[in-house]
Amino acid sequence: MLKYDFIILGSGAAGLSLLMRMIASSHFNNKKILLIDRDIKNKNDRTWCFWENKDGFFDHIVYKKWSQLSFYGESPNAALDIHPYQYKMIRGIDFYNYCFERIKQCPNIDIKYGELKSVVHETEKITICLEEEELHCTPAIIFNSIYKPSDPSKKKIQLLQHFKGWLIETDSPYFVEEQATLMDFRVHQRYGTSFVYVLPVSDKRALVEYTLFTPQTLEPRQYDTELKDYIGRFLKLDKFTIAEQEFGIIPMTNERFHFYQSGMYYIGIAGGQTKASTGYTFQFIQKQSQHIVDSLVQNQSLSLIPTSSRRFHFYDSVLLQLLATKKLGGKEIFSRLFQRNKASRIFKFLDNETSLKEELSLISTLQTFPFLKASLQVLKP
Ligand SMILES: Cc1cc2nc3c(=O)[nH]c(=O)nc-3n(C[C@H](O)[C@H](O)[C@H](O)COP(=O)(O)OP(=O)(O)OC[C@H]3O[C@@H](n4cnc5c(N)ncnc54)[C@H](O)[C@@H]3O)c2cc1C
């Protein structure tokens, strides 16, 4: 029988964000921790961007940050006033390298590689079934970040945020490094809500990402066509090389996720930490990890950790309802939002941190009739 105090399933953003906070607290020095993943995390498989108005837990590995953001919607380019926020970028590879370097220095942490098949709880024993072996452990607290899409028959809205990004490079200086584009809706909307964001990481390199909020993904070549078209038409660049590429899919659903289920605590996307209306997840993972570690250190029940508020779940559902039924496109909604509100207020709202009064003032700037109709549909039993 293996003896662990904690078992973390998945060494992605959520598993590692939690583990790094455990390592940072002396409370866990004598606790045995097991980390399980099917992959060795040695690829730059994603780039996380998020806004933050203070120093963050992973600030030392932030690759780039911007104080100036632009938004292109229905009216001409708007410079966003994001103060006191900064828009930050962390590269997957820097995050993984940093975390695994720290883990290496901790004799109380073991790593096991293998495809997880199931976790079986018995009275005095937990069996973790990996593809090629079974681990028999004494009871432990399990955090699970392995996401399984839910059963489509649950009748919840299921959209996907899917995107392809190219890190492009020019021979001579071309990009204004301090100036990033948060959303550019000048691209056609034939597939549904579609936009591009542009994040210059130097004067010769920028990450250009074509993003959609729709029920289905596109053919791989369609993303490439749209990226090429955008770079030619809007960045006015015809000579560049592609240094790196990334592709991703993030679920956008109004399904309610459980924090505790079947003897495990769910974290990350699997624990509902994706903001359903935007796909942003990284900062919600940070908040959840901090809550978990604080509760463990204070010997408080994890069940007291606040789950996402019903109010924000309702707002997200209304927005998803509008997008899914195509009553209003993301271009119209986000254009109106950014035209009529300060970006810093919008960021606070999208972080689920506004007061009801602030939310009402923000919502009153949106398209009243479609939002009202979608709200009634969401409230319908
Ligand atoms: C390309 C990409 C870019 C993104 N960019 C942003 C962004 O800019 N901002 C933002 O806020 N969010 C972003 N996200 C969304 C979200 O932040 C990330 O998906 C984040 O990595 C989610 O963390 P997680 O721990 O829940 O999942 P993951 O990081 O995916 O971790 C899950 C882990 O579980 C492992 N695993 C899965 N199945 C099994 C199995 N059966 N057995 C064993 N191990 C398994 C995987 O190998 C992985 O390491 C992005 C997502 C993607 C895919």
Per-residue pLDDT for 351 more than 90? yes
- 348 secondary structure, DSSP code: H
CA–CA separation, 151 vs 249, rounded Å?
17
Which numbered atom of ligand 1 lies nearest the CA of 37?
A: 44
Q: What is the pLDDT of residue 153?
A: 64
Protein residue closest via CA to atom 26 of ligand 1: 268
Q: Is the CB of 23 under 6 A from ligand 1?
A: no
More confident residue, 378 or 151: 378
Query: How far does the centroid of ligand 1 lie from the alpha carbon of residue 336, in Å?
Result: 31
Query: How far does the centroid of ligand 1 lie from the alpha carbon of residue 145, in Å?
Result: 9
Q: What's phi and psi for 361, nearest 5 deg?
A: -65, -35
285 Cβ contact partners less than 8 Å away, ≥ 6 residues apart: 13, 14, 17, 267, 268, 273
Q: Is the CB of 128 under 6 A from ligand 1?
A: no
Please spell the DSSP secondary structure of 159-213, one letter per residue. Answer: EEEEEEEEEEE-SS--S-TTEEEEEETTS--TTSEEEEEEEESSSSEEEEEEEEE
Question: 307 burial class (0-12, 13-18, 19+ CB within 10 angstroms)?
Answer: middle
Residue 356 confidence class, pLDDT cut points 50, 70, 90: very high
Q: What is the pLDDT of residue 308?
A: 76
Tokens of residue 63, six digits: 């690759």
Q: Is the CB of 271 under 6 A from ligand 1?
A: no
269 Cβ contact partners less than 8 Å away, ≥ 6 residues apart: 14, 145, 147, 250, 251, 281
- Say if residues 158 and 215 touch (Cβ distance below 8 Å): yes
Per-residue pLDDT for 78 more than 90? no
Q: What is the pLDDT of residue 198?
A: 98
Protein residue closest via CA to atom 28 of ligand 1: 12
- 78 secondary structure, DSSP code: E
Q: What is the pLDDT of residue 155?
A: 75
* Stretch 253-257: mean pLDDT: 91
Which numbered atom of ligand 1 lies nearest the CA of 49?
A: 8
CA–CA separation, 193 vs 214, rounded Å?
7
* Stretch 228-250: mean pLDDT: 97
Average pLDDT, the chain: 95
Query: How far does the centroid of ligand 1 lie from the alpha carbon of residue 96, in Å?
Result: 12
Q: Is the CB of 92 under 6 A from ligand 1?
A: no
288 Cβ contact partners less than 8 Å away, ≥ 6 residues apart: 14, 267, 268, 271, 273, 305
155 Cβ contact partners less than 8 Å away, ≥ 6 residues apart: none
Q: Is the CB of 246 under 6 A from ligand 1?
A: yes
Reported as a single tens digit per residue, the pLDDT across 109-132 is 999 999 999 999 998 999 999 999
Which numbered atom of ligand 1 lies nearest the CA of 46?
A: 1
Q: What is the pLDDT of residue 123?
A: 87
Residue spans of alpha helices (H) in the chain: 13-24, 92-104, 220-233, 282-297, 310-325, 330-340, 343-350, 356-363, 368-379
Length of the chain: 381
Q: Is the CB of 145 under 6 A from ligand 1?
A: yes
For a pocket test of ligand 1, which of 93, 146, 266, 289 has the largest count of ligand atoms closer than 8 A to its C-beta?
146
Please spell the DSSP secondary structure of 299-315, one letter per residue. Answer: T--GGGSPPPPHHHHHH
Tokens of residue 105, six digits: 């220095």
Reported as a single tens digit per residue, the pLDDT across 310-332 is 999 999 999 999 999 999 999 99
Domain ranges of the chain: 6-151+255-304, 163-248, 310-379
For a pocket test of ligand 1, which of 250, 288, 292 has the largest count of ligand atoms closer than 8 A to its C-beta?
250
Query: How far does the centroid of ligand 1 lie from the alpha carbon of residue 46, in Å?
Result: 8
Q: Is the CB of 2 under 6 A from ligand 1?
A: no
Query: How far does the centroid of ligand 1 lie from the alpha carbon of residue 376, in Å?
Result: 33
Question: 309 burial class (0-12, 13-18, 19+ CB within 10 angstroms)?
Answer: exposed
User: What SS3 state is found at 139?
Assistant: coil
213 Cβ contact partners less than 8 Å away, ≥ 6 residues apart: 159, 160, 161, 192, 193, 194, 252, 279, 323, 330
- CA-derived radius of gyration, the chain: 22
Protein residue closest via CA to atom 29 of ligand 1: 12
Strands 179-184 and 193-200: antiparallel
- Say if residues 161 and 252 touch (Cβ distance below 8 Å): yes
Question: 316 burial class (0-12, 13-18, 19+ CB within 10 angstroms)?
Answer: buried
Protein residue closest via CA to atom 23 of ligand 1: 13
Query: How far does the centroid of ligand 1 lie from the alpha carbon of residue 22, in Å?
Result: 20
CATH number for domain 6-151+255-304, candidates 3.50.50.60, 3.30.750.210, 3.40.50.970, 3.40.50.80: 3.50.50.60
Residue 38 confidence class, pLDDT cut points 50, 70, 90: very high
